[in-house]
Amino acid sequence: MLHLGEKIVIVADVFEQNLPMGEYGYLIAYDRNPDNAFDYIVRVPQANRNFFVTEKDIEPEENVLRFQADQVERAALIDYALATHNEKLFFQVMNGEDEETQEAEAEAAAEPMTQAEFIKKINLRAWI
């Protein structure tokens, strides 16, 4: 649950009420009426209005900024991989695979397993 006064960004418009998408706002109240579909009341200074919104319509500012930073970092890595012709880095970024996971799988495939280790591994996966 979000805190009162928290800076948020409007990311969706579930009920199509012409919310200002991408605008910043501040959470000013919870809507505690059980008969109402809205969760929060948000003040958007740019529009000089208050809006009733659902939880799906808004996102905390720090989450939006973190997502945008991750996207910029990913794009920069892709550009670098293409500029340096680094195919391994390109596929790693595009597929989202970690090198450690690939190395662990390669080591596991290279070493023969005993019957007890195999059964233990199968039981572990079945438990998950």
Please check whether residues 54 and 83 belong to one and the same domain.
Answer: no
Task: Express each pLDDT in 24-56 by its tens digit.
Answer: 999 999 988 888 889 899 999 999 999 999 999
Residue 128: inside a domain: no
Look up the domain containing 24 and give its range: 7-60
Report which secondary-structure segment, H or E, holds 53: strand 49-53
Please check whether residues 11 and 55 belong to one and the same domain.
Answer: yes
Please check whether residues 18 and 56 belong to one and the same domain.
Answer: yes
Please check whether residues 117 and 81 belong to one and the same domain.
Answer: yes
The most confident of the ranges 30-34, 68-72, 85-89, 112-116 is: 68-72
Tell me the C-alpha distance between 66 and 1, whole Å.
19
Report which secondary-structure segment, H or E, holds 101: helix 99-110
**Percentage of residues of the chain with pLDDT beyond 90:** 49
- Distance spanning both ends of the chain, measured CA to CA: 30
